[in-house]
Structure formats: C-alpha cells, structure tokens
Structure 1
Amino acid sequence: MAINQKCQYALRALYELSLHYPSGPVKIAHIAHSQGIPKKFLEGILGLLKSLGYVKSHRGKDGGYSLAKPPGQISVGEVIRGVQGPFSPVECIIGEDHCQLKGRCSFRPLWERAKAALEEVYDHTTFQDLLDQDKTPTEGERLESKGGSSDEPD
C-alpha cells in the first residue's frame, strides 16, 4: 500500500501542528513553508482534517489551525484511513466479493499478514511518538556528547 501525496501532506501538516501543541494556532503559511506543502493544496487538506476531527480552526489576527486533541491521542493509522481509506496491499482484502479466486486464493494469507503488519506499525505510532523520536539523539550525537567521535572505535 502506497501512501498517496495528499495523505503524506495531511500527515506532515498534523506533525507540524503537533510541534506547536498546545502553544496555539499555527498559520497556514507557516505549515506550508515548514513542511513543503503547496498552500492552496494545504487549505483543502486542513478542511478535511477539520471535518475528521483532528484540527480546529481559529479566526482572527492570531488565528490559524491547532490540533483538536493531544498528539499522543492521534495515531498515524487512523489519519491514513480517514484521508486515504483502509489499509490493504491488494484490493481483494478490502472487498472479497471482487475476487475471482474467492475462497481458493493461495496468496490471501500472505496479503492478510502484510495488512496486519501495516496496521500494527501505523496504528501503534502516534504523533507524540514521532515528536519523541525526533528528540532522541542519534548514535553519533550520543558519542559526540561523551567526547568521542562516531568514526573512532570504542
């Protein structure tokens, strides 16, 4: 299952709003610039995210968008489903009625395991997890803080 561009933009917009949670509304122009999303496209995506209950809009001079709930309460999986639809490596897992090999497909168990693996990763990753991940130092940063170099053996 490939994540389409619209869904990638939606995820990046929510990530940017997560960075600013709960400090206040973020302007569309800031989100667009920070995440490399075309502003016109972003307006529609934010409208969709608002209708799905992930963001709130704020009017006025200090207006913009903010998360409707904490980043730890929004999973990547639920957003993908809301924006793009159900997970499936192949269409027949979503609607078995369309399968010509219904009930006798040797690949079905494989497709179901792949679907379950996708769901496991996406559903168990929240936007707070992504924020925390970005705060975790890399191995090179840990070594540098200890006075070592990532090029030198221990």
Structure 2
Amino acid sequence: MKVSQKTEYGLRAMVALAILAGQEQPISLPTIAESEAIPEQFLDQIVGKLRRAGFVKSVRGVNGGYMLSRPPEDISVGALVRVLEGSLSPIGCVTDRGADDGQAEENASENFCGRIRGCHTRSVWLRVTDAITRALDSISLADVMLDEVGVGAVVSADR
C-alpha cells in the first residue's frame, strides 16, 4: 500500500488540529497550513473531505476556523486513511471499497480479476489487507499526538 500525499497531509493536519485546537477552540486553515507546510488550497480540499466525514467541524466568524468534532481518542488513523485514501487493500481483488456486505466485495473483486475463484495468491493479499486494517485501526489520533519517537530515533534503530 502506498500512501498518497493527500493522506500524509491529512493525518499531519489532524494532528496539528488536535494539538492546536482540539475540541476547545477553532484554528484557521492558514495557521494549520503554515504549521505543517501544506499548500493551503490542497489543505482546504482535504479538510473539506474530513468535515463531510464528520471528523472536523467548521466555525464561522472572525475567530472561526476548524476544530475536532470528537475527542482524538475516538478517531482512528485507519478511519482517517479510509476517508482520504479509500480502500486499504494493496491490490484490487481484495478491495473493500463500496462493500456493504460480503457479496458486494465479492462482485467488485470478480470484476477486477476473472481468476478470483481459483487464485492461490488472493489469500496473501487478504491477510495483508487485514493486517494493515488492524494496525491502522489500533492507532488513535491521541496516540499519534503523544508519540515522541523522532526521526532520529527511527533512523538510528534501523542501523
């Protein structure tokens, strides 16, 4: 799974929003854009999508802006990624996009690949999708806010 810049910026914006505003006071889009070095027009599109999905709310007026619509503990990274990225599946034959029941997923998968019924590798991609979903759903926005592992620590751990 490759994460798009939209998703990267969206998660960074949500963390900034949680830290700068939380559920207490609105913060302006230019402030978020500046603090995270995200182009404001692109951020506007991302925040609009997050607002429509119910993660943020907008406040109008002189001191208006955006704020979280629920506590950071109640927002999973997986839910954010699904809103911004779509399916968490690394391959189309196991996509969960638009699936409201198992039948819808199976029909979408069959349209992707005619070999789905006899494919021996599909189970690999199903397991990968499940692992990615469980991992991202287990991380809350609050966890990300509190994460103190810096880039230097990650780089030195890889050596």
Shorter-chain TM-score tier: 0.7 to 0.9
In structure 2, what is the equivalent of residue 29 of structure 1? 30
1:114 is the counterpart of 2:128: yes
1:94-115 deviation line (CA, Å, top 9, x unaligned)? 2321212121112111111111
Q: Unpaired segments of 5 or more residues in structure 2? A: 96-107, 154-159
CA separation in 1, counterparts of 2:84 and 2:64? 24
Q: Percent identity?
A: 35
Instruction: Report SS of the residue matched to 1:53.
Output: coil
Q: 1:5-154 to 2 correspondence within 5 Å?
A: 5-20=5-20, 21-94=22-95, 95-97=108-110, 98-134=112-148
Q: TM-score, normalised by structure 1?
A: 0.83
CA separation in 1, counterparts of 2:122 and 2:50? 33
Q: TM-score, normalised by structure 2?
A: 0.80
1:46-73 deviation line (CA, Å, top 9, x unaligned)? 1111111011111122111100001000
- Rg bigger for which structure? 1
CA separation in 2, counterparts of 1:96 and 1:69? 34
The answer to whether the 8 A contact 2:78-2:137 is kept is: yes
1:104-142 deviation line (CA, Å, top 9, x unaligned)? 1121111111111100111111100111223x79xx8xx
CA separation in 1, counterparts of 2:26 and 2:33? 14
| Counterpart residue type for residue 9 of structure 1 | Y
Superposed structure 1 runs of 4+ greater than 6 Å apart = none
CA separation in 1, counterparts of 2:94 and 2:57? 34
CA separation in 2, counterparts of 1:131 and 1:84? 21
CA separation in 2, counterparts of 1:36 and 1:10? 12
CA separation in 2, counterparts of 1:8 and 1:79? 10
CA separation in 2, counterparts of 1:31 and 1:112? 37
